[in-house]
Structure 1
Amino acid sequence: MKPYFVVTLLIFSFLCTSCISNKDVVYLQDKVGTTNNNLVITEIPKPYRVQVSDVLSINVKALDPELVGIFNPVSEEGGSGAQSQTGLYFNGFTIDVHGNIEFPILGEINVLGFTTQEIEEKVKSELLKQYFKENAELFVTVKLAGLRYTVTGEGGGGVFTLFQDKVNIIEALANAGDLPDTADRKDILIVRQYPGGQKIHHIDLTDIKAMKSPFYYIQPNDMILVKPLKRKSLGAGQTAIQNITTIASILSVLVSTYFLTRNL
């Protein structure tokens, strides 16, 4: 009976350790049990400060539209308006290695480390100083030409661009097709660009505390790396039913082999 007991024990252990539980796949769980249904997260992400290679969309408006035509790129449809991602790449203002953009009339403007609001104020101030009069009723808007990020690892990935000012990591992953059950949501890696180089950060998306993390909201050029769960290497199914099917197949082969060798 001992061999049967050992086989039964092995099968039971395999079932218990191979299945992917809800704790591994459910986002933002209250693991401590201290929160309630009216949880409010008051953490506000810090404004993004532009870096080298970022592309800016800058639009200038005034009482006389003809006066600002030189500052606004022409869209693919022939007018000055919303542009496609390709149009923004060619007509937007790319920050060079020195942190400057080349702006019509004004020439080089250093914007490295500025927020978009600070750039708006700087461009407006320089335009009023060098080109316009105070009564021009000048209005300047500066935005990032899309929030570009990369997702790679378990479940595939790709390079994506969202035209939003603020995107959290769950929204970013959902836009990329979401994660499969075999993805390790407890240790998502974020490779983030800084003036001094790149750094790798970790975030646990199964814990509600992730919403207070400084990495919960992604930034332009972030790389999101998704690792597989360790149990995936066992080659087992994701659910108990799949595991039972696998074990039944294995036992069927073993039983058939046993009787064949016994009859020889």
Structure 2
Amino acid sequence: MNNKVFLNRFLILLLLPLTFSCSKRNLGYFSNYGDEKLLTEDITLITTQPIIQPGDLLQITVSDNNPIAAAPFNKINFKEENNENASSNVQDGYLVDQNGIIDFPVIGRIKIGGQTKANAKISITNLLTNYLGNPIVSIRYLNYKVTVVGEVKNPSTFLVPSERINLIEALSMAGDLTIYGKRENVMVINESNGVRTVSHLDLNDKAILDSPNFYLKPNDIVYVEPVKARKDQSSLTRSNISLVLGVISAASLILLNINR
């Protein structure tokens, strides 16, 4: 065997691990839906309202047939606009404390933690009937947010003004998964009533559309795990990379000299 043949085989053996490391992966979503041109199926997932938790910031407005009578129950500050003399009303938020309690004008401390918005509206409305003829209560989250981290293009924390977001929408806001994102194991971390729940969802499987964790709750964390190739890539040190490149460069120089 001459030197040229030996070096050719040496280079092939050196590059084989790189070739086999690139295994075929399924980068699609809901892959088991098949190739049907039109598919109709019943929606079985019933979404539930989030539970009010300590740390939630709520906008609560009260209206009545008599606006003057309702005014003391609305927490209003007057904020001067930048570079303008005019003022505008800015609704302050009610911060739910660690005991699930808010400080409400006139009424005082009200416990709404552990309730849904619908139940909290009923609780506050019942208290207001002692003061108003026909009270109407509206509640909105001011800090409804979800966090998306891991192998996505733009990891960040996102506010959700609509107070309704599913996993696909959250991933879209984060710029979608990178090619290194492990679609078979997306984690959703939720903390509620002192309990932490970690769910593992498979984006390749259409079953996630019916998962109770498909619609995210306030303060949920979505974590996209990197595939093994990404982990292996990160674990390589600069010295190892330099060593491999050095061997390839040396072999290439020898091969060029032989070919002359």
Classify the TM-score, shorter chain.
0.7 to 0.9
* Bigger radius of gyration among the two: 2
Please say if 1:221 is aligned against 2:219.
Answer: yes
| Matched residue type, 2:167 | I
Work out the CA distance in 2 between the residues paired with 1:178 and 1:127.
46
Deviation of the 1:205 alpha carbon: 1.7
Query: Retained in 2: the 8 A contact 1:20–1:181?
Result: no
Match of 2:128 in 1: 127
Match of 1:190 in 2: 188
Work out the CA distance in 1 between the residues paired with 2:37 and 2:48.
25
Please say if 1:139 is aligned against 2:136.
Answer: yes
| Matched residue type, 2:115 | F
Query: Retained in 1: the 8 A contact 2:75–2:105?
Result: no
Please say if 1:154 is aligned against 2:130.
Answer: no
1:25-78 alpha-carbon deviations (Å, 9 max, x no partner): 212222688996113322112221111111111111111222222222336564
CA RMSD of aligned residues (A): 3.3
Query: Retained in 2: the 8 A contact 1:146–1:164?
Result: no
Q: Which of 1 and 2 has higher RCO (CA within 8 Å, sep 6+)? A: 1
Alignment of 1:20-39 (within 5 A): 21=25, 23=26, 25-30=27-32, 37-39=39-41
Query: Retained in 2: the 8 A contact 1:52–1:99?
Result: yes
What's the secondary structure of 1:186's corresponding residue? strand
Match of 2:238 in 1: none
Match of 2:104 in 1: 103
What's the secondary structure of 1:227's corresponding residue? strand
Work out the CA distance in 1 between the residues paired with 2:42 and 2:11.
50
Shifted more, 120-129 versus 44-53: the winner is 44-53
Work out the CA distance in 1 between the residues paired with 2:104 and 2:140.
15
Specify which of 56, 59, 65 is matched with residue 57 of structure 1: 59
What's the secondary structure of 1:198's corresponding residue? strand
Specify which of 192, 195, 200 is matched with residue 198 of structure 2: 200
Shifted more, 113-122 versus 71-80: the winner is 71-80
Deviation of the 1:172 alpha carbon: 1.1
1:187-208 alpha-carbon deviations (Å, 9 max, x no partner): 1112211222423221112211
Work out the CA distance in 1 between the residues paired with 2:112 and 2:187.
29
Work out the CA distance in 2 between the residues paired with 1:35 and 1:58.
47
Tell me the percent identity: 26
Deviation of the 1:14 alpha carbon: 4.3
Match of 2:73 in 1: 71
Work out the CA distance in 2 between the residues paired with 1:6 and 1:213.
51
Match of 2:22 in 1: 18
TM-score, length-normalised on structure 1? 0.76
Unaligned runs of 5+ in 2: 82-86, 235-244
Work out the CA distance in 1 between the residues paired with 2:207 and 2:225.
20
Unaligned runs of 5+ in 1: 237-248
Please say if 1:258 is aligned against 2:254.
Answer: yes
| Matched residue type, 2:52 | V
Work out the CA distance in 1 between the residues paired with 2:210 and 2:99.
33
What's the secondary structure of 2:196's corresponding residue? strand
Query: Retained in 1: the 8 A contact 2:188–2:222?
Result: yes
1:160-208 alpha-carbon deviations (Å, 9 max, x no partner): 1110121101101111222212111211112211222423221112211
TM-score, length-normalised on structure 2? 0.77
Match of 1:245 in 2: none
Work out the CA distance in 1 between the residues paired with 2:258 and 2:232.
31
Match of 1:242 in 2: none
Match of 1:244 in 2: none
